[in-house]
Structure 1
Amino acid sequence: MNHLKEFIDYGIIGFLIFMSFLSVWFFIERLLYFRSIKLEEFSNKEELEVKLTDYLSLIATIASSAPYIGLLGTVLGIMLTFYTMGQHGIVNTKEIMIGLALALKATAMGLVVAIPATMMYNFLIRRVEVLLARWDIVHAAQKV
């Protein structure tokens, strides 16, 4: 059962930390790309939109799946706590509460990853909308 506890602590939490790192990495990458983009170089709006939305689905996927991964860690942690209680006949409230608190940290971590990822995704989507509107303005002025 120690393997399951280590899987929860290092596997689930580690994976959530990795997901958080990825979402921040691609958020920064997208911001830098948005700053360097030259709208005049794109003659096709669809091509511009494809370039602007690269990696956004990854950030959205992280934002939507992180709470579920955290919940998985919590469920496994609670199962481990109940299994240990049954196996050892533990009725000690202190040990039960410690086990449940440790299990809930996975859900908390999932939310800590998901909330900023959602905010980053929404921020980037708004930037995409603004850049596409600016492309329309630049190309409308060129037609006149």
Structure 2
Amino acid sequence: MPQTARELLGSPEHTFMAVNLHNVLLPLSLERRWLAAPGGLSVCIEGPRDALVPDYALLPPDCPRWGRGELLSSGLIMVAEVVSPSSVHIDREEKRHLYAVGRVPVYLLIDPVPEVPSVTVHSDIADGAYRSIATVPMGKPLPLPAPVDFELDTSVFMM
């Protein structure tokens, strides 16, 4: 059965979580002169050339592009996805794999779907996979590794 746009995009809370992440990281991005965007940016995964649109992206102003419309994945600082019921496998598995293959240094997964909502950070890529994975229950602090180097208060995602 085909999914509707509403099922693919998730609930309003899905968007609020991405915007809350943006709001929390805005002072850091301004200080470091990075660009930040909750949704809407197209990313070309280097290697397989798959195109993804993360729920949030953090990037330097000189991030390289694939053509005019897509950012190259290896030039990003961090991407984040907010899991919705229709995207569980895609966000937890497929995108995690593609972001690692595309050499995105930090992948943040905000997962309100399970009985105990959680936030996971993936980093330290080797052989096309993230080697370092840290998960906390939503509401607990989560250190985001380099190049972000920021302690994220995950209570901002509690709706």
Same fold at TM > 0.5: no
Larger RCO: 1 or 2 (CA < 8 Å, sep 6+): 1
Say which structure is richer in strand. Answer: 2
TM-score of the superposed pair, with normalisation by structure 2: 0.21
TM-score of the superposed pair, with normalisation by structure 1: 0.23
Say which structure is richer in helix. Answer: 1
